[in-house]
Structures are given as structure tokens and as C-alpha cells.
Amino acid sequence: MSILKIAIQKSGRLNEDSIQILKDCGISINNGNDQLKTTASNFPLEVYYLRNSDIPQYLIDGVVDVAIVGDNLLVEKGQNIIVAEKLGFSKCRVSVAVPKTFNYKSIKDLNGLNVATSYPNTVLNYFKSKGVTVDVHQISGSVEIAPNIGLSDAIVDIVSSGSTLFKNNLKEVEVILKSEAVLAVSPKISKDSEQVLEKLLFRIQSVLRARKSKYILMNVPNDKIQKVSTILPVLKSPTIMPLAEEGWSSLHSVIDEEKFWEVIDQLKSAGAEGILICPIEKIVL
């Protein structure tokens, strides 16, 4: 079987979560310090640890078959790169920020001004779409300091919590795009490697479904089972097992964690008691 070559960030915010999702897929990786490449011991996967900004070019050139990367970087550098799966972690946004003292009313206020960023293509395309002309200063790292040292009037950078902007007396005024980690595929991936990718995707999707779901157990009077079942979203139908106490059953199902809090009061009102929520490791469909 062909070996699938995958790139992940050598260091930074994507590194640990990228390694973790592969491990959750049952793939054993020796990720020792200062390694640039390693091979999984139980899956046909070769892992390349690369500088984040270099990953799109490695994909374009076909040096690696797939990569875990922020989709904001693909918007900036990733021509013809396909996203196979959104991974749900490292969520952030690429935003315009200005000094807190800037009397900002609309994007037109930045016309003719200087904008510092690590994402020049994204910035130019965005401002062009708004009919605004700006002078872009490309900076690698520490973009948020640019207005304080007089290099720019505004910045465009990745924002997660907004704490870095706050510390540098900046305020977020426009969101250009929202981003998260994705599994990106090289346009030059071979047919043999695509077969391995399908196996990897199957595992990743099983893990992602489990992360979004919880196993729910509850005790329900037998005459309330139908009512409770109609409230509870399930994969197909709930599992029902009789309890030692006559007239009661234990109802088991899977629920989207975000939906649980929407229906908990309805479940209790319908007669459910002793509700337990448990994590799920994998969901295979």
C-alpha cells in the first residue's frame, strides 16, 4: 500500500491539536523534539513537520499529499488546493483592527491609509472588493505592534480571543473571514495515495462525530417512552432496556452536545429521571 505524506505545523497553535486528532484516529506517531519527518508505526502515513507558511507550497508542488492547516492560509496561498474535511479546532478569524482612538465608522475610513499584515493577498482582495485602496506593509509576526511604532494606521491579523489586540490598544472593526483547521489535499495526489486518504478520512470523520456527540442514558416510565423518544434527537432509534423496578426502562441514545441543553427541560417534563451524559470515543456509521 502507498504511504500517504501529511504535513502538519512544526510548532504553533495547530501543532498539538493536529497530532492529537491523528492519535485519536488510532495512528501511532513518534513526535519527538526537533523531528522534521516521522513514519506512523501502524498506518501508512509519513508525517512532515513544516513551517506553517511553507505548507501550501508543499501541497501545490506535490511534495506532500495532504496537510492539516488553517483555511485562512489556503485563502492566502493555496491555489487549486481542495479541502477534504473541516476539523473543528483552532477556530479564529482574520480581522481588521485599528487603534482604540481611531474614530472608525466604516471600511471607507481606511481608504488611502497604511495596513500591516502577514496576509497581503487576502488584504488586497478584501479591500478591492470594498472599493477601498490601501498601502499594504507585509510583516512576519508581531503585526499588532505596527500601529504603536508608526508603521501602519491599521492591521489585518488572526484574532482568537482578542486579548492580544486589547493589550496593544487595538480594537477589532471588521471580520474578513472565519477560519479553522482543515485537511487540505494536494492537486497532485496520486491514485494510490487517494486510497489511503479515504481510509484516513473515514477515521477522522468517526472521531469528529464523536467529539460533537454525547451518549445519553436516562430512566423513563414505560408509558412516557414514546413522548421522550420524540423529544430526543437520535441516530436511528433509542435503545430501551427494562429496569428492575417494574414499569420503568432505561433509555440510551446519542445526542448532539449543543442540543442537549435545548431539550433537557423537555426531557424532565416528559418524565425522564437520572439523566447521565457520557463522552464517546468514536462513532462509526
* C-beta pairs of 252-255 under 8 Å, 24+ apart in sequence: 252/215, 252/216, 252/217, 253/215, 253/216, 254/213, 254/214, 254/215, 254/216, 254/280, 254/283, 255/213, 255/214, 255/216
Q: What is the mean pLDDT of the chain?
A: 92
Are β-strands 170-179 and 92-99 bridged in parallel, bridged antiparallel, or unpaired? antiparallel
Residue type, 32: G
> In whole angstroms, what is the distance from residue 135 CA to residue 152 CA?
9
> In whole angstroms, what is the distance from residue 131 CA to residue 125 CA?
10
Instruction: Residue 228: name the closest of 210, 194, 252, 206 by CA.
Output: 252
Please give the pLDDT value at position 114.
96
How does pLDDT run across 203-249, given as a tens digit for each residue?
999 999 999 888 999 999 999 999 998 888 655 678 899 999 999 99
Mean pLDDT of 266-276: 91
How does pLDDT run across 112-130, given as a tens digit for each residue?
999 999 999 999 999 999 9
State the pTM of this model. Answer: 0.86
